[in-house]
Structure 1
Amino acid sequence: MYPKISLMGYRLSGSRCLGLCLLLTFFMGCYLAALPIQYENEALPNQVRHRITAKQVLKKRLAVLVPFRDRFEELLEFVPHMYSFLNKQKIPFHIFIVQQKDNNRFNRASLINVGFIYTKKDYDYIAMHDVDLLPMNDNLPYEYPSLGPVHISSPQTHPKYHYDTFIGGILLVKREHYEMVNGMSNNYWGWGLEDDEFYVRLKDANLSVIRPNNITTGTDNTFRHIHDKTYRRRDMRKCFNQREVTRRRDRLTGLHDVAYKLHTTHTVAVDGLNVTVLNVELTCDKSKTPWCQCPDPPKEPVKKS
């Protein structure tokens, strides 16, 4: 005979046990909720909040503007060199080759104006950069010129030009300052003087040109000048009244009235490194600047033997 077990009593005991467990869980939850949260490091909550709410300061973007015509050998050296140089400084940049595609004489200043118009919405500052001048000293700073234009290729380090007001070669200008002085003059067809006129514009706007400090290299080893003057002769002709006009400050032309057509834009890879090529046709008003096309010098008669 097996003993009889009362199921009624068992159910009654189980209900009481379940009720006790629920009651204890409720009181323990209330107790824990009332306890303050303890941190091993009291500054930790503030540090975490700071990381979440702080906004990262983004670096300013640089548009490297290279006025260009028929200098492909130099370009093949320029692009890989500048990619390597600027990547070391961790500068967000892109190279724009502003190529003149017309029959007029080369106009460096107008091409820079066109490049600025094309890039100003997306870039914070420009480098007006000759294709044949390669910086070799890693301490030359291409960072954002917040205080004023920065002349990278200073007279103390440029391989050829050493006068105090020289600002050619490589000049950094932020977007607001370039617009403030109305860009560069459009009167300079042929080689030379457009950067000297731009210096006067900066001076008239009370903008001081800043040059790199603590550069220990000199005129022989700060830059590599890859221009071959025997192969690439500069167009230094002066015709009509060009000499008279271009020696004066130009208060009329500039960024607002540069006349051009942008025919095409292309992304071109040089050693796998992308640059943007702008194919530009500059328009010349011969009633104002007839020297955009100097007449060819008369040929000497062939002497008969």
Structure 2
Amino acid sequence: MKSGLSKAALTALSRRGLLSGAGALSGLAALPPGVAQAMTQGGAYPLAEFFKPTRSAGAGLSPDGNRIAVGENLGTDIAPRSAVDFINAADPEGQRLRVALGPVWISSIQWASNDRVLVSVIIKGETGRRSQTGSNVRADSIEYYMRRVVSIDAVRGDAVVLFSDQRARMRGSFDMGRIIDMLPNDPDNILMAASEADGVLALYRVNVNTGSATRIERGGSGTYTWRTVKGVPVMRHDVNSRGTMESILVRAAGETEWKLARRSRIRDAPDFSWVGESGRDGVVLVIARLDSEDVQSVREMNLATTQLGP
């Protein structure tokens, strides 16, 4: 069949554009029969189709554009089961590598490097029925959910759970899936936040090939996240014990102590948020509203002085 596009137009199409179109067509082909029929006939969707679980859990193109990773939730709410398919971007219809992840739900997927993909998964657990201390009455089993990140080799299919070298921490924490910085210039490591034994959040450098983690920063009693520039923490967000006040602390390169830059009530309309690095050393971009203004603006913030630009 001859294409209606000119040769120049075909040449202008990028690989990403072609993949986007192929993804859209494959998405239509994967629609449930009721929805597909309704779309072709112009009728209403069957009500039951709105309550069917979503099978696809996301997809991502590797940084070099050579591979596509597709997350698939293949099970049910009662019996979860998931897998990740690796597809050759140059031959999407060719043979693919499938890596089974077992009884988990995939919530997101992103590439850490050209050879490693990170998959955030949700795991369901149960406490089991247990007798209360000093009583013959057995307490009902309670369901709980945990978040973990699995790193998969896109060539061999080998998988490792991040923080796998810290079994005690894995057993005692529900959330081990908070990625702070993907470190695009360091394909072997990422920065993640995880709770210590006393509940205080800490920042870790995690190797995506081995799963091993090294602590690089310990937060305060109310710390809930960090902002980084080129892998270095430059801003920290803390909340007080009552959950009513947020404190923004900053630290310039070479400094060892955090200093307070801003404090505001959480219930008030937010007037400060992080944008990213500015391209200049010691200066970041934030969204802020000055006391004399009615609107927010993107401004430069000097990390050494905490002053905002005009």
TM-score, normalised with respect to structure 1: 0.24
TM-score by length of 2: 0.24
Structure whose residues are more often helix by fraction: 1
Higher relative contact order (Cα pairs below 8 Å, separated by 6+ residues): 1
| Higher share of residues assigned strand | 2
